[in-house]
Amino acid sequence: MGPVLVAVAPMFLAIACMSLSLIRLLGITNHTRRHDEYGGPNNNGNLKPALILFYSLVLAQAPISSGLLKSIKNDETTVEIIVRESLRVVCKLTTSGTEGAQSSRKLCHELTTTTKYGRTAENILWVLSNSSDQEMAERATEILSRLTLSKETMSDFVVVLQRLLMEPQDSPLRVRTEAGKALSALVRSHGDEFRDKFPDIQQMVTIMGAADDAYCKEYRVVTAEMLAKLCAKSTADDRDRNLLSSVASNALSTVLKAIVTETGMDMRFLASFLGLAVQICEKLATAEAFADAVTGLLPMGNNVFAEKLERIIDEVTNDSDDEICLAIMKSVTKLVTWVAEIDTAISPAYLDYFRQVNIVQKLDAAVEAMAHLERYVVMTGGADEKEGHVTLQTLVETAKNKLDSQQQQS
């Protein structure tokens, strides 16, 4: 945000928040007219953005007569434009860019911790729950993702996001994408607080293995992330761990099949499922369970999982400008190490394949390509020190040592 916008941001934010509060007060839920049907707010008669903000100011600040309420309530187009423009204002003012980032963070904090903006988070969630307008849903999801929500509001937000993902026929792709990102972030940061809002573990395994026409890919990704979180945090006497252990073999087979059959190289999908595969291998599965899961892939080729890991390494090394690529490479490296450590019926064939394709050189190339990305993650605080940050180079050195040891033994 520029300096002028920063200066007036609180005023405009208050106007927009009060407008959203009024719209909820009116109880108008029939926001079904799509944005493109009337060419956008700038083309709708005389309702220009400046007038919309002025109208919002009148609604927010002036005493509201019953006649004005009735007039607004009967004009759905005007109501939709007010809501949409209000959401745009709030979305713009709460976006953390390079310029004005501190002001944006302050506004995000004040929206949920001070009374001057009313129940803004609850009002925006109400709009998200009751509007079928794509732009409104996107904006509302973006805004709520940035706010520090109360436990109750967060729980309600999770339920709405899951509905958007579980009913893909009613949710446009862009809305599902935003909902998936928001739910993923909540799972990573607060997953323990709303575990009860997710299906049971067996159902989550079913969702992961389902086709996209049954459960959309975005929801399968979030489900994999929730399962990975449960695996990572499970303890020996934990109820979830006992349930996870009982489905570990089935879950691993489902995860490996999903990885192998992912033809589009969707990075978020691969990051989630590879991360879950690592958690299952490290925390739950035996070497035999892994071998059985790989054996179940044989109809697709003798070395199909090893071939997929190699293709992922090549793809990610050539496109290494995103943090998600670094996460993928770390998971792939851990799985290569796992294959080198175990002694099962599949080990000789997989180790031979890794030697044939010079997997060690490919891993070294990945380390070199992602060195700048690793430094960026560490410097910007993306590395979780509580978990003990391990660099890709360290993981690759471990994998190389294991592979060298196996080669010397053979």
Q: For 154-196, what is the HEC assignment? A: HHHHHHHHHHHHHCHHHCCHHHHHHHHHHHHHHHHHHHHHHHH
Domain locations along the chain: 1-141
Q: Show Cβ contacts of residue 285 under 8 Å, excluding neighbours closer than 6 positions.
A: 248, 249, 252, 293
CB 357 within 8 A of CB 369: no
Q: What is the C-alpha to C-alpha distance for residues 85 and 13, in angstroms, rounded to an integer?
A: 11
Per-residue pLDDT of the chain (410 residues; tens, 9 = 90+): 334 333 334 444 455 555 555 444 444 344 333 333 323 333 333 334 434 444 444 444 444 444 444 555 555 666 677 777 778 877 877 776 544 567 677 777 777 776 666 677 888 888 888 877 888 889 889 989 988 888 899 999 999 998 888 776 667 888 888 888 898 888 888 887 888 888 888 888 888 888 776 778 888 999 999 889 888 877 655 676 777 888 888 899 999 999 999 888 899 999 999 999 999 998 888 888 898 898 888 777 778 999 999 999 999 998 877 889 999 999 999 999 998 888 888 888 899 999 999 999 999 999 999 999 888 888 876 655 445 688 999 999 999 999 988 777 76
Alpha helices by DSSP H, 191-238:
201-209, 217-233
Alpha helices by DSSP H, 74-167:
76-93, 101-113, 120-130, 134-146, 151-166
Q: Is the pTM of this model over 0.85?
A: no
CB 354 within 8 A of CB 306: yes
- Three state DSSP letters for 342-360: CCCCCHHHHHHHHHHCCHH
Which of 144, 108, 101 lies closest to 125 in space, CA to CA?
A: 144
